[in-house]
Amino acid sequence: MRISEASTKSGLSADTIRYYEKSGLVPAVERGPDGLRRFSPENVEWLTLLYWLRKTGMPMQEMQRFAALYRQGDTTIPERREVLLNHEKRLHRRRADLDRCEEVLAYKIAAYEKIEGGLS
């Protein structure tokens, strides 16, 4: 499939796909006789993973390390798993922080509603 289709399926813009490719995050994408990229389902699966890793806040440097490990083959699966587990821990901490932020906002909103009710 072409880059526009890969973009639609993965959630990444064509520009981001090109950037990720130049950054070494995307395994080799074949090109057709016309020189245009031809993305396989595996390429799109990888791009989708990159989309979600970035969306969940994984730093680019860590994504590059993950991609480099992937290129080295299956012997790096334990290391790749560790990268993902560490990222998962970071997400759990972030979720707890966001939950606390939501509690603080709810408290403040309730306080304002109480004040506004007394002004009427």
pLDDT tens-digit profile of 15-60?
999 999 999 999 889 999 998 999 999 999 999 999 999 999 999 9
CATH number for the domain including 27?
Answer: 1.10.1660.10
Tally the domains of the chain.
Answer: 1
Structural domain for 112, as ranges: 3-119
The pair of three-digit structure tokens given for residue 64, joined into one six-digit string: 């590059």
Average of per-residue pLDDT across 77-104: 97
Residue 81 CA to residue 11 CA, distance in Å, equals 23
Q: Find the length of the chain.
A: 120
pLDDT of residue 105: 97
Strand, coil or helix: 37 = strand
pLDDT for the residue 27: 87
Could you report the per-residue pLDDT of 92-113, keeping only the tens digit for each?
999 999 999 999 999 999 999 9
Asked whether the predicted pLDDT for residue 120 surpasses 90, the reply is no
Q: pLDDT at position 19, please?
A: 95
Is-contact 26 46, C-beta < 8 A? yes
pLDDT value of residue 52: 96
Q: Across residues 61-81, what is the average pLDDT? A: 96
* Tokens of residue 30, six digits: 């074949």
How far, in Å, CA of 55 to CA of 70, rounded?
A: 20
